[in-house]
Amino acid sequence: MPDAHRIEAAISEALARARGGATAPGQLSAALSYACLPGGARIRPTILSAVAEACGEDRPPLTDAAAAALEFIHCASLVHDDLPCFDDAATRRGKPSVHCAFSQPVAVLTGDSLIVIAFETLARAAPQDPTRAVALIEILARQTGMPGGICAGQGWESEERIDLSAYHRAKTGALFVAATQMGAVAAGQDPEPWTELGARIGEAFQVADDLRDACESEAETGKPIGQDAAHGRPNAVARLGREGAIARLNDILSGAISSIPSCPGEGALAHMVRMQAARLVPTQAGTAARV
Amino acid sequence: MPDAHRIEAAISEALARARGGATAPGQLSAALSYACLPGGARIRPTILSAVAEACGEDRPPLTDAAAAALEFIHCASLVHDDLPCFDDAATRRGKPSVHCAFSQPVAVLTGDSLIVIAFETLARAAPQDPTRAVALIEILARQTGMPGGICAGQGWESEERIDLSAYHRAKTGALFVAATQMGAVAAGQDPEPWTELGARIGEAFQVADDLRDACESEAETGKPIGQDAAHGRPNAVARLGREGAIARLNDILSGAISSIPSCPGEGALAHMVRMQAARLVPTQAGTAARV
């Protein structure tokens, strides 16, 4: 199981450097930390680190930089998604969203800066291994930008006709594929065999998020619920019903575990995926989860 | 003098890859090109390429990737700066700004995607030389993000008390420092001796922009004028008067040319800086420019 302290230390160190001192603008500096600390479940960097460990991690500082970079991209996406022109969400992780706590300009710049910090963190870790660092940067960019990353996923919400498969793959799946691929690359392994695990975890996460949005209260999720219905977005619970969505979630997770490539830490990784899965399942639906 | 076609080809090639095909969201895909084509003066990538040439360029594809990456960051900053929560500018480069031509969500995502494309373009050019590519990524990140890049510069506008020197250095200077430093690194040279040239060109550009904002018409600049006065921002013309600002511009440009490090193409580079300077000076004030 990855060491959560290592991930938090890498995030804090990069944030401290980015926040600068007295010659940096104070609000933007404060907002960078506000957007990332305290974190959520850190599920993407945890998966990344677990895959690196399972692959026989040999460059821990590179793994940590990759984990932090991935989390920065995730936090950036949350800050921008909460903006009034997207979800117009007043809360996130149980506190006011960045544009509410600071302002819209600061929120836009916080997201922009966090994207940059992600790539900077990887570039700064490059002396460990420039070739791996560049591969990590390329994967992270592909899964963040266009045409198939989370920006593309969010972009689909501005289209009249949504390609649902491309939408989910990009909006939720991309950063989980980044997690498994980057974990492999940080440990010097080929990323391709790890794509399916990331994609399946992403699908599971999407169904779990749909369940939470449809079933839980705002107090439980720390953010506004019922957003899919309010914005007319596709939701697995609307399509399959609650029981059907839970059955689908369990199927996907079983598939995820079977897709784990043969590697030194295969058993421990399967255990970690099961543990993360247990956290995914909404409280009210928890008793029905098997994986 | 750098080949403008090489710069445009690198920009177009990266955009075509990022726009994807039918499985990409159409509006965001179209907005990426809309934000970058046709371009403005491409002054930053031109300076970058000129410095690489002066340094005895030996990896042209790496220079071209760096030039395109720098222009993508610049275009991203324009798209986000034009948003209603910042300048609320309806026009840019003589046509509707991205949020007016498309929508605010698409404009936010266009800026985000262009930042990502910038780093991806450099990572994809890495097989040429991973060590130089990583150095280029680190410089571009430092001059884009926090605490001293263009995000920081824009962030100062949300502060009650502005550190004017840090503000100008970050808001306008940072991408010119990136231009000269990245040009040197693309050609395998030490970036540090090239910092002053970039900083001085940045200062000159700021004064020229202040002159344009204060003296020219919207038809001439292709964007709203009088924005500094409207937003209560510092402006060299307000501080020094028009003649004083022109004298200051000429002083800075002379200093810029003297700061050029000794290198194979020193003379040609000085000529290029003079030519770019002539383009900087506003039409109405043009007769007073000496450099």
Q: What angle do CA A177, A230, A158 make, to 5 degrees?
A: 55
For chain B, give the percent of residues with pLDDT over 90: 74
Is the confidence at residue B79, as pLDDT, over 70? Answer: yes
Q: Is A88 on the interface with B (CB under 8 A)?
A: no
Burial class (CB in 10 A: 0-12, 13-18, 19+), B202: buried
Name the band, by pLDDT with cuts 50, 70 and 90, for residue A289: very low
Residue B95, phi-psi category: left (phi > 0), alpha (psi -120 to 50), beta (remainder): beta
pLDDT of residue B218: 66
Q: For residue range B151-177, list pLDDT tens digits in order.
A: 999 999 999 998 888 898 999 899 999
> Which of A244-258, A268-282, B129-143, B180-194 shows the lowest mean pLDDT across its residues?
A268-282
User: Which alpha helices (DSSP H) does chain A contain, by range?
Assistant: 4-19, 26-36, 43-54, 60-81, 98-101, 104-124, 130-144, 150-156, 164-168, 174-186, 195-215, 218-221, 227-231, 236-258, 266-280
**Cβ atoms of residues B79 and B40 within 8 Å:** no
Q: Suggest the residue from A33, A119, A164 to mutate for an interface test with chain B (most B CBs closer than 10 A).
A: A119
Judge if ipTM > 0.95.
no
> Which of A121-130, A234-243, B10-19, B48-57 shows the lowest mean pLDDT across its residues?
A234-243
Q: How far apart are CA B192 and CA B190, in angstroms?
A: 6
Q: What is the DSSP letter of A275?
A: H
Is the confidence at residue A119, as pLDDT, over 90? Answer: yes
> Which residues of chain A are within 8 Å of residue B104 when distances are taken between CB atoms?
85
For chain A, give the percent of residues with pLDDT over 90: 74
Task: Phi first, then psi: give them for residue B264, nearest 5 degrees.
Answer: -55, -40
Is the confidence at residue B287, as pLDDT, over 70? Answer: no
- A137 vs A239, higher pLDDT: A137
> Which of A176-190, A215-229, B162-176 shows the lowest mean pLDDT across its residues?
A215-229
Residue B229 has a CB neighbour count (10 Å cut-off) of 13
Contact A116 B146 (CB under 8 A): yes
Task: State the smallest CA–CA distance between residue B238 and chain A in angstroms.
Answer: 24
Is the confidence at residue A180, as pLDDT, over 60? Answer: yes
Contact B116 A141 (CB under 8 A): yes
Q: Is A61 on the interface with B (CB under 8 A)?
A: no
Structure tokens at B181: 């430093």
Name the band, by pLDDT with cuts 50, 70 and 90, for residue B227: confident
Q: For residue range B193-224, list pLDDT tens digits in order.
A: 999 999 999 999 888 888 888 877 666 667 77
Closest C-alpha among B2, B17, B53 to residue B187: B53
Q: Suggest the residue from A17, A115, A233 to mutate for an interface test with chain B (most B CBs closer than 10 A).
A: A115
Q: Is B287 on the interface with A (CB under 8 A)?
A: no
Contact B142 A158 (CB under 8 A): no
Q: Is B161 on the interface with A (CB under 8 A)?
A: no
Is the confidence at residue A45, as pLDDT, over 60? Answer: yes
Q: Is A158 on the interface with B (CB under 8 A)?
A: yes
- A73 vs A218, higher pLDDT: A73
For chain A, give the percent of residues with pLDDT over 70: 94
Q: DSSP letters of chain B?
A: ---HHHHHHHHHHHHHHHH-STTS-HHHHHHHHHHHSS-S--HHHHHHHHHHHHTT---HHHHHHHHHHHHHHHHHHHHHHTSTTTT--SEETTEE-HHHHS-HHHHHHHHHHHHHHHHHHHHHTGGG-HHHHHHHHHHHHHHHSTTTSHHHHHHHTTSSS--HHHHHIIIIIHHHHHHHHHHHHHTT--SGGGHHHHHHHHHHHHHHHHHHHHHS-HHHHSS--SHHHHHT---HHHHHHHHHHHHHHHHHHHHHHHTPPS-TTHHHHHHHHHHHHHHHS-GGGGGG---
Name the band, by pLDDT with cuts 50, 70 and 90, for residue A1: confident
> Which residues of chain B are within 8 Å of residue A115 when distances are taken between CB atoms?
112, 115-116
Is the confidence at residue B125, as pLDDT, over 50? Answer: yes
Q: Is B100 on the interface with A (CB under 8 A)?
A: no
Q: How far apart are CA A280 and CA A258, in angstroms?
A: 19
pLDDT of residue B283: 57
Nearest to B27 among A25, A104, A158 (CB): A158
| Averaged pLDDT, A131-157 | 97
Mean pLDDT, chain B, rounded, equals 91
Nearest to A137 among B123, B144, B154 (CB): B123
pLDDT of residue A283: 57
**Under 8 Å CB-to-CB from A216, ≥6 apart: which residues?**
A225, A282, A283, A284
Is the confidence at residue A36, as pLDDT, over 80? Answer: yes
Name the band, by pLDDT with cuts 50, 70 and 90, for residue A115: very high
Residue B224, preceding peptide bond in cis (omega within 30° of 0):
no
Q: Is B146 on the interface with A (CB under 8 A)?
A: yes
- Domain of residue B265 covers 4-288
Residue B243 has a CB neighbour count (10 Å cut-off) of 11
Name the band, by pLDDT with cuts 50, 70 and 90, for residue B239: confident
Q: How far apart are CA A11 and CA B103, in angstroms?
A: 33
pLDDT of residue B230: 76
Q: Suggest the residue from B17, B119, B142, B156 to mutate for an interface test with chain A (most A CBs closer than 10 A).
A: B119
| Averaged pLDDT, A119-129 | 95
A-B Cβ pairs (cutoff 8 Å, strict): 209
Residue with tokens 């340094």: B55
Q: How many domains does chain B have?
A: 1
Most confident of A239-253, B94-108, B205-219: B94-108
pLDDT of residue A291: 36
Q: Is A7 on the interface with B (CB under 8 A)?
A: no
Task: State the smallest CA–CA distance between residue B287 and chain A in angstroms.
Answer: 38
Name the band, by pLDDT with cuts 50, 70 and 90, for residue A218: low
| Averaged pLDDT, B99-126 | 98
CATH number at residue A61: 1.10.600.10
Most confident of A135-139, A207-211, B267-271, B279-283: A135-139
